[in-house]
Amino acid sequence: MINRVIARVQTLFKRKPKRGGRDPKRISSREHGINGELVSRSALRVCETLQKAGHRAYIVGGAVRDLLLDIAPKDFDIATDATPEQIKSHFRRAFIIGRRFKLVHVMFGQETIEVSTFRALVNADRLIDEHGRVLSDNLYGEQNEDSARRDFTINALYYDPTTGDVLDYHEGVKDVRARRLRMIGEPADRYREDPVRMLRAVRFAAKLGFAIDEATREPIHRMAELIENVPAARLFDEMLKLLTSGHSVACITRLRAEGLHHGLLPLLDVILEQPAGERFVMLALSRTDERVRAGKSISPGYLFATLLWNDVLAKWNARLAKDEHRIPALNLAIDETIEAQTEKLAIQRRFVSDMREIWGLQPRFERRTGRSPFRLVEHLRFRAGYDFLLLRAAADEIPVEQGDWWTRFLHAGPDEREKLIEEAARGGSSTATTGKRRRRRRGGNGDGAPSAV
């Protein structure tokens, strides 16, 4: 205990004087009411370890915001006055990452705690591009400076799990209670520094049900084009967070309202302007939201396959209208869609592979005779392809009977499966096909949506 006190006193004497002059409001556990049981043991351990070594360390950002809302955070970030090298030296499994700003990932089994060093408010040496976007910034500073560097007031809160106090520099607790999203500093300047903040504003507002402060909201529409300057990989990460937030329908609706959906996913804005395409996309997103909120796993590959299916389908039908062979036509349509997509959004290769397989399985569901159904149910991606088929049926893209047949076949015993195949062979199902190539009818579902069946 004595060594800990001595170490902390030494750190205080070594510390640089404050810059900026802003002191935080200290809110006790009795005032803020955070439930300590919702705090990750790993995050607590990181804070305690760094504090015992003479450093300041706090849980910061979205985790504090969620704790104030009595929501169990999914991730915990730590902010400290220790440098990345000092942080790394205190943990057996710690890795320094990042170029724009160095971070440390501390690993505890399957859990990762992200630890950052307090950032300086003013850095004359930081690299920016011609649009004002920050490219590199590794100058460290004081906690009050770090708080001013964060995007929204609700994300600039520091919680010390060892004392129970929350440090609030920008009235963030007040904004949480008012359910208001407010930018720290001049919004236009902050969006110029990092255009992704516009997407984050939409995601937080939709996810939390917060209203965006008018001064924060006003520049978004006129500055939306700055998103074009964001690296594709980072844009993909932010888009994935948005779509897997459990509130993707609200996020997409808000994106469109703020004029931010154009260009995020090529042709997504076109899809959302077509009744059939919008119905399919929104149904897929609503089902994804249900799974996330129920704590079930989701597949990013499946999700992006649903978002881009309308484009694949339109290109496929266009080729079929030219009398091209069905499977080669589908493969070419997939290639065209993926190529257009990767120009803007860097979907990871493993997800692209899943998307291709899900799309490629759809024609195979039409073959319900012989041994084809037995081989299909053994396919590694059968379940994803089957769920995709049911989604198409629910969106009225294909007859419901086709999905029903596969549902019965999936749960049937050997004898019943043989009977189902015999029925399909006799034409007992209105959607049964023989697997032979047929000339497709255009606009087959009667409501303007192209049909692939």
Residues counted in the chain: 453
Q: State the CATH number of the domain containing residue 53.
A: 3.30.460.10
Residues 14 and 156 in one domain: yes
Does one domain contain both 240 and 296? no
Is 278 contained in some domain?
Answer: no
Structural domain harbouring 213: 185-264
pLDDT at 15: 41
In sequence order, which residues have a C-beta less than 8 Å from that of residue 186 and are 6 or more positions away? none
Nearest Cα to Cα of residue 206 among 268, 273, 261: 261
Residue written as token pair 């549902």: 407
- pLDDT for 259 equals 82
Indicate whether 45 and 21 sit together in one domain. Answer: yes
Last residue of some domain: 129, 155, 178?
178
Domain contains 207: yes
Residue 219 and residue 151 in one domain: no
408 phi/psi in degrees, rounded to 5:
-65, -40
Q: What is the pLDDT of residue 266?
A: 56
Q: Which residues contact 417 (CB under 8 A, 6 or more apart)?
A: 373, 374, 409
The DSSP code for 350 is H
Q: How many domains, in total, are found in the chain?
A: 3
Same domain, 12 and 155: yes
CATH number for position 218:
1.10.110
pLDDT of res. 135 = 52
Domain boundary among 178, 202, 237: 178
3-state secondary structure of 298: coil
Q: Quick count: other Cβ atoms within 10 Å of Cβ 76?
A: 27
CATH number of the domain where residue 381 is located: 1.10.3090.10
Q: In this structure, is residue 253 part of a structural domain?
A: yes
Same domain for 24 and 170, yes or no, is yes
Residues 197, 314: one domain? no
Give me the helix-helix angle, 326-342 and 349-361, nearest 10°: 150
* Residue 433 lies inside a defined structural domain of this protein: no
Q: Which of 220, 248, 264 is the last residue of a domain?
A: 264
| 190 and 339 housed in the same domain | no
Looking at the fold, whether 51 and 71 belong to one and the same domain comes out as yes
Cα–Cα distance list, 361 to 308, 323, 324, 388 (Å): 15, 21, 18, 10
> What pLDDT does 108 receive?
95
- 8 & 104 share domain: yes
Q: How far is CA 24 from CA 14, 20, 143, 156, 192, in A?
A: 21, 12, 9, 11, 27
Distance CA 338, CA 334 (A): 6
Q: Are residues 121 and 211 in the same domain?
A: no
Whether 277 and 310 have beta carbons less than 8 Å apart is answered as yes
Catalytic residue annotation: 75, 77, 151
In a shared domain, residues 204 and 144: no
Is this model's pTM higher than 0.85 or not? no
Instruction: Give 10-residue mean pLDDT values along the chain (453 residues).
Output: 44 40 86 95 97 97 96 95 96 88 93 95 58 61 93 97 96 97 96 92 92 95 88 85 90 85 66 77 92 90 92 94 95 92 78 95 94 94 96 94 95 94 74 39 37 35
Q: Estimate to the nearest angstrom the gap between the alpha carbon of 366 and the chain centroid.
A: 33
Residue 281 included in any domain? no
CA distance 268 to 272: 6
283 lies in some domain: no
What's the confidence (pLDDT) of residue 261?
A: 75
